[in-house]
């Protein structure tokens, strides 16, 4: 087991008063060695806790003067201290298997850990879930959790996960629901494998056996040019349309039986099928917004609200890491842009760098965006040559493709806007840095939040 390291000590906090330092390793709290940040937070919430820390190779005991529940003022560098429960499935559609070689090692880590599901909204298949895990989840009320279902037919699910436990692991889903744990489900649709009649059966059995699910997000598989699975292909427009018809039918059926829709289709299916996304009320409270479900609708409605006035709606961020002050922002929760942006550019057209799906979503909104920002805007659609396949979302844009798009852009431009979702810190997935991209660009590259207001503010500046 590794010990978590202190990343930050908040000035004026009990930790600061006790002289804890950045770099200290937390070995134990009140004599207990925590296995993860969840257990650590429960221990540190006690009044006047005692910490055992390792500093410069020497153990020392530090007493904290604090009330029960008072924030201690520490942020740690890890959320799991013992060992991340890795995934032993070999899903044919897993995007990690479709990554090119030579990327950072952390990108190849497959987790199937319910603790990361609770903390960050990661999806777990429950194939490595145990009685002890269930007992802890129930006792500590670790919810919501996020579970990949894919299919309820045992044979289909086993084939998709390439794991014999796939046939039986949904029993844990039933147990979680029986104990009142909030669970959101996911189905990754693979044409010819779990769509059509299999999707119909899955939806019917979810309503019959797992009606306590808070939501079920249905998303299409993503394929990169490195895919080697001959059985997989991306959705055609007609296939996406057929799947949407099925999803809408079961939405209506769920509404009739439960009074809520339960099933929600990803924006990508609507874009591929060349259909308009549904109105806001069809997404209820946007339970899987971060899974690419309802993003186009919330962005479009935000622009409308900014144009006409009214209250802006922002969906809740998935995962409970925000409620645990010591938990780090890991993975796609990491800070997107940590540096500063260049000074304001001169007047002139603004280029919006985005993927194919982003371009399709933004095109109808350009007149409104131009009025709100007071600038002439132009979409610069970036082809994802790095990953290839159907990877057309802005979050998978990489520095080399962005640089190529800027080099090929011959239209007048005063500056480029880049959505922050393409970055982790100030680094792209291909390890190109934001600074390297800026040096290659003839005009400033400004990072903006992937929201309507963020884009408008970035364009207007």
Position 332 pLDDT exceeds 80: no
CB 260 within 8 A of CB 282: no
- Do 306 and 215 reside in the same domain of the chain? yes
- Do 311 and 382 reside in the same domain of the chain? no
- Do 136 and 234 reside in the same domain of the chain? yes
| DSSP conformation letters of 358-424 | HHHHHGGGHHHHHHHHTS-EEEEEPP-TTT-TT--SGGG--HHHHHHHHHH--S--SEEEEEGGG-B
Domain count, the chain: 3
The rounded distance, in Å, linking the Cα atoms of 111 and 321 is 17
Q: Whats the size of the chain, residue-wise?
A: 461
Residues contacting residue 314 through CB under 8 Å, at least 6 positions apart? 298
Tell me, yes or no, whether 85 lies in a domain.
Answer: no
Residue at which a domain ends, from 49, 76, 103: 76
Least trusted range by pLDDT, from 311-320, 345-354, 447-456: 311-320
- Do 363 and 273 reside in the same domain of the chain? no
Tell me, yes or no, whether 372 lies in a domain.
Answer: yes
Give the pLDDT of residue 311.
Answer: 77
Position 344 pLDDT exceeds 70: no
Phi/psi of residue 215, each to 5°?
Answer: -165, 160
Tell me, yes or no, whether 87 lies in a domain.
Answer: no
Residue at which a domain ends, from 28, 43, 76: 76
Tell me, yes or no, whether 373 lies in a domain.
Answer: yes
Tell me, yes or no, whether 234 lies in a domain.
Answer: yes
Tell me, yes or no, whether 328 lies in a domain.
Answer: no
- Give the CA count within 13 Å in the CB-facing half-sphere of 342: 19
Percentage of the chain with pLDDT > 70? 99
Tell me, yes or no, whether 359 lies in a domain.
Answer: yes
- 133-152 average pLDDT score: 97
Taking the alpha carbons at both ends of the chain, their separation in whole angstroms is: 49
Residue 422, domain CATH = 3.40.50
Give the CA angle between residues 293, 297, 302 to the nearest 5°.
Answer: 130
- Do 121 and 256 reside in the same domain of the chain? yes
Residues contacting residue 179 through CB under 8 Å, at least 6 positions apart? 134, 137, 138
- Do 369 and 317 reside in the same domain of the chain? no
Residue 22, domain CATH = 2.30.42.10
24 pLDDT tier (thresholds 50, 70, 90): very high
Tell me, yes or no, whether 88 lies in a domain.
Answer: no
Give the pLDDT of residue 109.
Answer: 81
- Do 231 and 122 reside in the same domain of the chain? yes
- Do 115 and 55 reside in the same domain of the chain? no
Phi/psi of residue 444, each to 5°?
Answer: -60, 145
Residue at which a domain ends, from 284, 302, 323: 323
316 pLDDT tier (thresholds 50, 70, 90): confident
- Do 431 and 350 reside in the same domain of the chain? yes
Least trusted range by pLDDT, from 306-310, 360-364, 369-373, 408-412: 306-310
Domain that holds residue 114: 95-323
Position 461 pLDDT exceeds 90: no
| DSSP conformation letters of 248-315 | HHHHHHHHHHHSS--EEE-HHHHHHHT-PPPPGGGGTT-TTGGGTSSHHHHHHHHHHHHHH------P
The rounded distance, in Å, linking the Cα atoms of 51 and 32 is 9
Position 185 pLDDT exceeds 70: yes
- Do 312 and 352 reside in the same domain of the chain? no
CB 28 within 8 A of CB 5: no
Mean pLDDT for the chain overall = 93
Residue 235, domain CATH = 3.20.20
- Do 346 and 430 reside in the same domain of the chain? yes
Least trusted range by pLDDT, from 126-130, 316-320, 365-369, 421-425: 316-320
- Do 238 and 282 reside in the same domain of the chain? yes
Give the pLDDT of residue 345.
Answer: 64
The DSSP symbol for 136 reads H
253 pLDDT tier (thresholds 50, 70, 90): very high
Look at residues 239, 234, 150 and name the one whose alpha carbon lies nearest to residue 188.
150
The rounded distance, in Å, linking the Cα atoms of 293 and 440 is 34
């Amino acid at each position: 087991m590794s010990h978590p390291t202190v990343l930050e000590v908040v000035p004026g906090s009990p930790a600061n008063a006790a002289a804890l330092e950045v770099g200290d390793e937390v070995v134990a709290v009140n004599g207990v060695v925590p296995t993860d940040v969840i257990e650590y937070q429960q221990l540190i919430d006690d009044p006047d806790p005692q910490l055992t820390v390792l500093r410069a190779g020497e153990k020392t005991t530090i007493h904290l003067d604090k009330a029960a529940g008072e924030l201690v003022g520490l942020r740690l560098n890890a959320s799991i201290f013992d060992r991340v429960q890795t995934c032993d499935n070999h899903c044919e559609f897993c995007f990690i298997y479709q990554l090119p070689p030579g990327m950072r090692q952390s990108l190849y880590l497959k987790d199937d850990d319910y603790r990361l599901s609770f903390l960050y909204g990661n999806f777990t298949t429950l194939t490595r879930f145990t009685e002890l895990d269930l007992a802890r989840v129930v006792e500590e009320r670790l919810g919501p959790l996020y579970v990949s279902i894919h299919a309820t037919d045992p044979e289909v699910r086993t084939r998709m996960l390439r794991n014999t436990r796939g046939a039986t692991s949904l029993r844990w889903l039933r147990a979680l629901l029986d104990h009142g744990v909030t669970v959101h489900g996911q189905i990754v649709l693979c044409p010819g494998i779990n769509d059509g009649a299999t999707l119909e059966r899955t939806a019917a059995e979810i309503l019959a056996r797992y009606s306590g699910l808070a939501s079920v997000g249905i998303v299409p598989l993503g394929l990169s040019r490195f895919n080697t699975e001959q059985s997989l292909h991306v959705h055609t427009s007609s296939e996406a349309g057929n799947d949407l018809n099925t999803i809408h039918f079961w939405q209506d059926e769920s509404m009739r039986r439960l009074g809520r829709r339960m099933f929600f289709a990803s924006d990508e299916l609507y874009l591929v099928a060349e259909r308009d996304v549904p109105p806001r009320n069809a997404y209820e409270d946007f339970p899987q917004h971060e899974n690419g479900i309802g993003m186009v609708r919330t962005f479009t409605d935000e622009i409308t609200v900014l144009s006409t006035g009214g209250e802006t709606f922002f969906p809740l961020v998935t995962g409970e890491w925000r409620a645990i002050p010591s938990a780090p922002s890991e993975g796609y929760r990491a800070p997107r842009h940590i540096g500063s942006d260049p000074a304001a550019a001169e007047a002139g057209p603004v280029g919006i760098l985005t993927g194919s799906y982003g371009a399709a979503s933004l095109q109808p909104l350009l007149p409104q965006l131009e009025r709100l920002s007071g600038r002439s805007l132009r979409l610069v659609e970036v082809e994802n040559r790095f990953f290839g396949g159907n990877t057309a979302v802005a979050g998978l844009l990489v520095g080399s493709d962005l640089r190529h798009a800027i080099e090929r852009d011959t239209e007048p431009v005063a500056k480029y806007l880049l959505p922050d979702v393409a970055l982790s810190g100030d680094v792209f997935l291909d390890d190109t840095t934001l600074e390297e991209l800026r040096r290659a660009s003839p005009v400033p590259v400004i990072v903006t939040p992937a929201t309507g207001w963020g884009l408008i503010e970035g364009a207007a500046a």
